[in-house]
Amino acid sequence: MFAQRRWPCSSLLPAVVLALSSILGFAAAALDDSDIRPQYHYGARIPITCLDRSIETGEHIQEGDKLKYVPFATCEETGLPLDLQYGVEADINCTIASVSDPLFHLLEFYIHNDAPLSCRLPARPPGHPAARAGIRPPRLRAGRHPPTLPPPRQHASQHPPPLRPQAPPPQARLGRRRFRRRVLD
């Protein structure tokens, strides 16, 4: 008399569970240690490197098709090139004991020609050994195309209308708090 009712989705449920588990399994297999980007830990040294320039012409020196960065001058206090420590707030003393002739002429070039001294801090420490050799480690599909920002489309008016607050009307003082602004021409 009472027949057991079979739900139409009961045969579909195992197929959906199997499909989801296989997708998650493939995603977990794709994420290995080489896909994880290295990060700085507390107290790690972050080197400061600056663009290398020619002393004679002031042109940037290139290695292949990339600009060449060199470590900043060596500090007398540490005996190492200038660097920062990640997460550590402290005063840094860096005395350049002797200025070599090339460094002197380079500093002179920066001052007299109003050329920028371009230095950089790496956002992440060097990670995967293949990445240091110039070969990119394998990444997920989302990492293949770096996001780009479109140029801004908003333009600010060069003559914005000045705004002046207007005193509230008498009925607004009694209970309602409405304020109006008038545009002055």
Q: Is 19 helix (H, G, I), strand (E, B) or coil?
A: helix
Residues whose CB falls within 8 Å of the CB of residue 172, separated by 6 or more in sequence, listed in order: 178, 179
Tell me: the pLDDT tens digits for 57-102? Answer: 778 888 888 888 888 888 888 888 888 888 888 888 888 888 888 7
Distance of CA 107 to the CA centre of its chain: 29
Write the pLDDT tens digit of every residue in 124-180. Answer: 887 755 555 555 555 545 555 555 555 555 555 555 555 555 566 666 555 545 555
Q: Is the pTM value of this prediction over 0.85?
A: no
Which is nearest to 58 in space by CA: 113, 135, 11? 113
> Is pLDDT of 37 > 50?
yes
Closest CA to 73 of 96, 101, 98, 106: 96
In angstroms, the CA 116 to CA 95 distance is: 21
pLDDT at residue 16, as a whole number: 62
Which of the two residues, 3 and 107, has the higher pLDDT score? 107
Where do runs of H (alpha helix) occur along 82-169?
101-112, 129-132
Predicted local confidence at residue 89, as pLDDT? 87
pLDDT at res. 33: 47
Give the whole-angstrom CA distance, residue 81 versus residue 83. 6
Alpha helices, DSSP H, located in the chain? 12-30, 101-112, 129-132, 170-174
